[in-house]
Amino acid sequence: MKDELRAKTVSAADAAALVKSRDWVDYGGSFQVPVLFDRALAARKDELEGVRIRTCVSVRPAEVVECDPEGRHFLWFNWHFGAYDRSRNKDGRCNYIPMNFGESPSYYRRFLDPVDVACFRAAPMDADGWFNFGATNAHLKAMTEKAKVVIIETTRAMPTLDGEQNAIHLRDVHHVIDGGDEPLAELPSAPITDVDRRVAATIAEQIEDGACLQIGIGGMPNAVCATLKDAGLRDLGIHTEMFVDGMIDLIESGIANGARKQIDTGKAVFTFALGSKRQYDFLDRNPALRSYPVDYTNLPHQISRNDRVVAINNTTQIDLQGQAASESDGHRHLTGTGGQLQFVRGAYASNGGKSFVCLASTYERKGVRRSRIVSTLTPGNIVTTPRTDMMHVVTEYGSVNLKGKSVAERATALIGLAHPDFREDLAREARANGLIPRHFW
End-of-domain residue from the set 121, 154, 178: 178
CA 178 from centroid of its chain's CA atoms: 28
Q: Select from 178, 212, 233 the last residue of a domain.
A: 178
Instruction: Please say which residue of 113, 146, 178 terminates a domain.
Output: 178
Q: CA torsion sign, 29 to 31 to 37 to 42?
A: positive
CA–CA gap between residue 371 and residue 426 (Å, rounded): 10
Q: How far apart are CA 53 and CA 133, in angstroms?
A: 20
Report if residue 36 sits inside a domain: yes
Where does residue 353 rank: exposed (0-12), middle (13-18), buried (19+ CB within 10 A)? Answer: buried
Q: Domain count of the chain?
A: 2
134 and 209, same structural domain?
no
Q: Are residues 90 and 203 in the same domain?
A: no
CA distance linking residue 88 with residue 365, whole number of Å: 21
**169 and 213 both lie in a single domain:** no
Asked if residue 52 belongs to a domain, the reply is yes
pLDDT at 102: 97
Q: Are residues 324 and 207 in the same domain?
A: yes
Strands (E), 335-424: 354-358, 362-365, 368-371, 373-374, 392-395, 398-401
- pLDDT tens-digit profile, the chain (441 residues): 888 999 999 999 999 999 999 999 999 999 899 999 999 999 999 999 999 999 999 999 999 999 999 999 999 999 999 999 999 998 899 999 999 999 999 999 999 999 999 999 999 999 999 999 999 999 999 999 999 999 999 999 999 999 999 999 999 999 999 999 988 988 887 788 999 999 999 999 999 999 999 998 877 878 889 899 888 899 999 999 999 999 999 999 999 999 999 999 999 999 999 999 999 999 999 999 999 999 999 999 999 999 999 999 999 999 999 999 999 999 999 999 999 999 999 999 999 999 999 999 999 988 999 999 999 999 999 999 999 999 999 999 999 999 999 999 999 999 999 999 999 999 999 999 999 997 765
Domain contains 440? no
Looking at the structure, do residues 84 and 232 belong to the same domain, yes or no? no
**CATH number of the domain to which 411 belongs:** 3.40.1080.20
Residue 24 shares a structural domain with residue 55: yes
Q: Are residues 17 and 164 in the same domain?
A: yes
pLDDT digits (tens, 9 = 90+) for 243-271: 999 999 999 999 999 999 999 999 999 99
> What is d(CA 63, CA 73) in angstroms, rounded to the nearest whole number?
12
Q: For residue 113, give the CATH number of its domain.
A: 3.40.1080.10
Q: Identify whether residues 221 and 170 lie together within a single domain.
A: no
Are 171 and 267 in the same domain?
A: no
Provide the residue range defining the domain that includes 44.
Answer: 2-178
Q: Does the active-site annotation cover 241?
A: yes
Give the single-character DSSP code of 311.
E
Confidence at residue 333, expressed as pLDDT on a 0 to 100 scale: 94
What distance in Å separates the CA atoms of residue 339 and residue 437, rounded to the nearest whole number?
36
- Same structural domain for residues 289 and 349? yes
Among 63, 145, 153, 241, the active-site one is: 241
Q: Could you give the CA distance from residue 39 to residue 178 in angstroms, rounded to a whole number?
A: 14
Q: Residue 185: inside a domain, yes or no?
A: no
- Tell me: do 56 and 171 sit in the same domain: yes
187 within some domain: no
> Which backbone phi and psi does 26 adopt, to 5 degrees?
-115, 135
Any domain includes 274? yes
Kindly state the DSSP code that residue 122 receives in the 8-state scheme: E
**Residue 21's closest CA among 63, 49, 57?**
49
Helix (H, G, I), strand (E, B) or coil at 436: coil
The pLDDT score that the predictor gives to residue 441 is: 58
The pLDDT, as a whole number, for residue 440 is 66
The whole-number pLDDT of residue 284 equals 97
Over residues 64-80, the pLDDT tens digits come to 999 999 999 999 999 99
- Is residue 188 assigned to a domain? no
Residue 229 forms part of a structural domain: yes
Round to the nearest angstrom and report the end-to-end CA distance of the chain.
76
- Same domain as 299, residue 169: no
